[in-house]
DNA sequence: CATCAAATCGTAATCATTACTGTTAATAAG
DNA sequence: CTTATTAACAGTAATGATTACGATTTGATG
């Protein structure tokens, strides 16, 4: 079920987007960090190191396009945005637990929406956001020691 | 239980912060918009209109201080930050449903954390974020018509 | 290979937020 | 009430992420 760079490139093709070496490198970079949100500024720094003189605009535009295709997930929380390779393009609805130490993402099953919708009679619920953070089991064990 | 500007000012006093006319005006502005998140840029615009030549820094600094005292709630979602007068300084744990049309905030009872903690054995959950948005009952009825 | 639209570059703009420094004014003590 | 102290403020300018734009390059297609 976990997708690879080639899977992502195939999606680009299917949508008549051009396969450039920059895009391939970006996807490769993101794909190498599965289950981790990476700060967009770090993606930017890496790309501009890899392709000296690469434009900021290109990087941000590509992230936006990748997101529209479901290849990555973006999160705009506070200061700067973060982005994560979407290992499962199927776009299943899910929520995340994010470890503040190692950055690992755990997908949660079940959605809290079910428990709340009956508190809002008449309202039309269009979306929601749910996220948990802390220390994953590994880091919790390590740090406590 | 709903707090007023004077209650907020009292908190400033208790914490040995000075009561300036700027701060009073800010709190008054925010207090007049209960259950609504206001964009910080709008607070900024209003204050600089009220006190021509007022400094951006003062406004942002005050919001941060108000937040530390629990007088307001801040939300940094995407583009610009939003802020809301905290009618209940008691800092009870709760979540929000936010109407995208009128901006009304409904506080939700019950916290989804309970339903998820057992999915993360060993992890140390330090925080979470939950939010729902859409149309409140009033707006849903009006817009549908 | 030739074509053409899509991607990219490179520069500069935008815009929210913050640093910094000298000045003002709220508070508490006399 | 007067004064001393120091937080709060004004004003200017910086920062830093993100985007606009015009010129150039390059991937896809035949």
B114 contact residues in A (CB cutoff 8 A)? none
Report whether A29 contacts A46 (CB < 8 A): yes
Cβ within 8 Å of residue B16, ≥6 positions away: none
Q: How far apart are CA A81 and CA B10, in angstroms?
A: 38
Q: Which domains does chain A have, with CATH numbers?
A: 5-85 (1.10.10.10), 95-144 (3.30.1490.190)
Between CA B62 and C1' C19 the distance (Å) reads 16
Q: Is A136 annotated as a binding residue?
A: yes
Q: How far apart are CA B137 and CA A47, in angstroms?
A: 47
Strand C CB-contacts below 7 Å: A 17-18, 20, 22-23, 51, 53-58, 61-62; B 13, 16, 18-21, 40-41, 44, 55-57, 60, 64, 76, 79-81
Token duo for residue A27: 């996807």
Q: Is A139 annotated as a binding residue?
A: yes
Residue A34, Cβ neighbours under 10 Å: how many?
14
Which pLDDT does position B96 carry in this prediction? 72
pTM: 0.72
Residue A19, Cβ neighbours under 10 Å: how many?
12
Comparing A111 with B90, the larger pLDDT belongs to A111
Per 3-state DSSP, chain A is made up of helix, strand and coil in percentages (nearest 5) of 40, 25, 35
Mean pLDDT of A4-23: 92
Which pLDDT does position A101 carry in this prediction? 61
Residue A91 banded pLDDT, cuts 50, 70, 90: low
Report whether A141 contacts B143 (CB < 8 A): no
CA B123 vs. chain centroid, Å, equals 30
């Amino acid at each position: 079920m976990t997708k690879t760079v080639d899977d992502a490139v195939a999606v680009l093709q299917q949508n008549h987007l051009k396969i450039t070496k920059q895009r391939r490198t970006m996807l490769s970079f993101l794909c190498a960090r599965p289950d981790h949100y990476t700060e967009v500024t770090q993606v930017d720094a890496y790309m501009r190191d890899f392709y000296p003189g690469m434009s900021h605009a290109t990087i941000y535009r590509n992230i936006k396009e990748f997101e529209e295709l479901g290849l990555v997930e973006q999160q705009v929380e506070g200061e700067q945005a973060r982005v994560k390779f979407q290992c499962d393009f199927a776009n299943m609805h899910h929520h995340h637990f994010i470890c503040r130490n190692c950055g690992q993402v755990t997908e949660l099953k079940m959605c809290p929406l079910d428990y709340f919708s009956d508190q809002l009679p008449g309202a039309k619920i269009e979306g929601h956001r749910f996220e948990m953070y802390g220390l994953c089991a590994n880091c919790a064990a390590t740090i406590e020691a």
